[in-house]
Amino acid sequence: MNKRFVSLWFRHLTTDRQILRKPELKDVPFVFSAATRGRNLIVAANALAEQQGVSVGMAVADARAIVPDLEVLDDIPGQDAKLLNGLGEWCIRYTPLIAINMPDGLMLDVTGCTHLWGGERGYLKEIVTRLRGKGYDVRGAMADTIGTAWAVARYGRLKPIIVSNEQAAALTDLPPVALRLDPLTLERLQKLGFYTIKSFMGIGRSALRRRFGDAFLLRMDQALGMVDEPMQLLHPIEPYTERLPSMEPICTATGIEIAIRTLLEKLCKRLQGEGKGLRTATLKCYRVDGLVVEVGIGTNTASHHVAHLFKLFELKIASIEPALGIELFVMEAPKVEDAEVDQEALWSPEGGGLDDSNLAGLLDRMANKIVAANICRYLPQEHYWPERSIKASTDLKDKLTTTWDMGKLRPTLLLDQPQEIQVASVLPDYPPMFFIYRNERHNIRRADGPERIEREWWLDGSGPHRDYYVVEDEEGRRYWVFRSGHYNEEWSAWYLHGVFA
């Protein structure tokens, strides 16, 4: 299959946009100007101004001499690129391969896309008609090469769709400027009397190279399809992406569910064939009004299980507002990992522990409701200092680097930082009679300890040790408290560090 490209040329891009913003300018000749070397030159003119003799590059003073009531607006640098970027985003509903042609065009790689609109003619007509309906003066052409599509869109006068392998015939009657040549080369061609491409197409390559250089031959070869021309895409394509255009706009939750399931089946079939699973996925819904609604999911383990992934997306459907309808669904999997070979077996009722996929599925559903960062597991670390002896992990695949110390009693909840408490006078090496925390008094009924934990001097340097006690108040609540330093030291203080279940 030959590649097919569509070139879109916005003949009055900047002024069309201004008319859309201010409809009262529709019947007014106006231009945009910018200061260049001390002179105000016209950089864009609307169709009405051009019909009265104003052109781009003309001095503003000269233009006002021709059209006295001409309205002049200040040009905003970078607005053309911003406008083209927005139009390119809108065109993604027709193809994912889009590049910007500064200063006034777009290039679309439409290979394999046209059948969805009934063929090439229907495809090109759909794009051009809708853009003109939005208020843009646009021309389009389709060909096997970027160069030919660009040339026909701007200088062609007959058929906008060039049949495959007929680019040479389509170019012959066009002027040399249609080859996107530099001004110096165009001036030389003009002086030599070459007013059409066919006038020099039959000349030997060595003679053309000597006269006009390699860049001239490159442009010819690109237009004729003898050399590939790269595109700098607006959005580089994710390796794992599936698209689903809609012949009629989708407005119902049922239609969205069907689209999601269809895309997942395609994506997961490919992932499963390659032994991979997705960790994150994004669904982009392109609406008729031009807005894009986006929702995403994440998984704890690489998965290509359609039913599980659909349940995660199902939680997001309520947040998808279709408005007048969705005409394109795109699903991307930006993060993909190797899936376990025995994943299929894990989805049976058997199993257990951290490797049980039912646990992973439960965590995925919770994470997509309350944010994955709020769910974690704790692993032991080789540290004496309690707050350093554990670490939080959000990955079920993280392995233990050491074992839990089961010989010592530790609280169910360890505070991130010890909280200072006020205690009653006590004897040395004895627990307090009561302590006050957050204005609440806790009378101690029984206690166990002390357990001395020395400071990790190789990490913190010198400092006081801690004497920990497990204490129980009169209501049966148990706490982990400690005294920092010796009883008779001036900086000695008491802290609450944990709570037992």
Residues 32 and 58 in one domain: yes
Distance CA 239, CA 112 (A): 17
Checking if the pLDDT of 52 tops 80, the result is: yes
Q: Which residue do the tokens 């002024």 mark?
A: 15
| Whether residue 133 sits in one domain with residue 26 | yes
182 and 100 belong to one structural domain: no
Percent of the chain with pLDDT over 70: 91
Q: Write the DSSP assignment of 363-426 as a string of letters.
A: HHHHHHHH-GGG--EEEE-S-SSGGGSEEEE--TTPPPSS---TTS---SEEEEEEEEEEE---
Are residues 308 and 216 part of one domain?
Answer: no
Contacts made by residues 287-294, CB under 8 angstroms, sequence distance 24+: 287/249, 287/322, 287/323, 287/324, 287/325, 287/326, 287/327, 288/249, 288/323, 288/324, 288/325, 288/326, 288/327, 289/323, 289/324, 290/90, 291/323, 292/89, 293/320, 293/321, 293/322, 293/326
**pLDDT at res. 341:** 54
Q: pLDDT category, 369, cuts 50, 70, 90?
A: low
> Where residue 186 sits, what CATH number does that domain have?
1.10.150
Residues 6+ apart with CB under 8 A from 4: 109, 110, 111, 114, 120, 142, 143, 144, 164
CATH of the domain at 109: 3.40.1170.60
pLDDT level of residue 490 (50, 70, 90 thresholds):
low
Averaged pLDDT, 9-28: 94
For tokens 């951290």, the residue is: 354
Q: Which among 118, 133, 155 is the end of a domain?
A: 155
User: What domain range includes position 209?
Assistant: 167-224
**Mean pLDDT, residues 375-403 taken together:** 79
Q: Do residues 353 and 376 touch, judged by C-beta distance below 8 A?
A: no
Written as six digits, the tokens of 281 are: 């996925």
Query: Domain boundary at 190, 224, 258, which?
Result: 224
Same domain, 266 and 190: no
Residue 418 within a domain: yes
Residue 381 lies in a domain: no
C-alpha–C-alpha distance, residues 465 and 288, integer Å: 67
Q: Rounded CA gap, 332 and 324, in Å? A: 24
Q: Is residue 231 part of a domain?
A: no
**Confidence check: pLDDT of 385 > 60:** yes
DSSP 3-state assignment of 11?
A: coil
Cα 263 to Cα 306: distance, rounded to the nearest angstrom? 10
Q: Which of 335, 368, 401 is the last residue of a domain?
A: 368
> The domain that contains 328 carries what CATH number?
3.30.1490.100
Average pLDDT over residues 449-468: 86
pLDDT, tens only, 236-258: 888 899 999 988 899 999 999 99
- pLDDT at position 347: 44
Taking alpha carbons only, the member of 34, 14, 11 closest to residue 25 is 14
Tell me if 275 is assigned to some domain. yes
pLDDT of the residue at 345: 42
Same domain, 12 and 149: yes
79-128 pLDDT per residue, tens: 999 999 999 999 999 999 999 999 999 999 999 999 888 899 999 999 99
Whether residue 19 is found in the same domain as residue 123: yes
- pLDDT computed for residue 235 by the predictor: 87
Segments in 134-204 forming alpha helices (H): 146-155, 167-171, 183-191, 198-201
- Mean of pLDDT over the chain: 89
Comparing CA positions, the residue from 6, 89, 137, 84 lying closest to residue 290 is: 89
Per-residue pLDDT at 489: 65
- pLDDT, mean of residues 428-437: 89
Residue 172 and residue 119 share a domain: no
For Cα atoms 340, 344, 347, give the angle at the middle one, nearest 5 degrees.
Answer: 110
Distance from C-alpha of 426 to C-alpha of 413, rounded to nearest angstrom: 26
- Amino acid identity of residue 178, one-letter, is A
- Tell me whether residue 316 is in a domain: yes
Same domain, 40 and 136: yes
User: In terms of domains, do 467 and 347 share one?
Assistant: no
Token pair for 177:
């400027």
Q: Identify the weakest region by mean pLDDT among 11-25, 41-55, 215-229, 342-356.
A: 342-356
Q: In percent, how much of the chain has pLDDT > 90?
A: 69
By the 8 A CB rule, do 189 and 197 touch? no
pLDDT of 182 reads 94
For residue 37, what pLDDT band results from cuts at 50, 70 and 90? confident
Shared-domain flag, residues 253 and 305: yes
Q: Are residues 15 and 91 in the same domain?
A: yes
Total domains present in the chain: 4
Cis bond leading into 450, ω under 30°?
yes
Phi, psi of 493 (to 5 degrees): -150, 160
33 assigned to some structural domain: yes
Q: Tell me 220's DSSP state.
A: H
Amino acid at 300: N
305 found inside a domain: yes
The C-alpha atoms of residue 354 and residue 301 are separated, in whole angstroms, by: 11
Q: Is 479 helix (H, G, I), strand (E, B) or coil?
A: strand
Residue 383 lies in a domain: no
pLDDT digits (tens, 9 = 90+) for 139-168: 999 999 999 999 999 999 889 999 999 999
Look-up of token digits 């996929």: 357
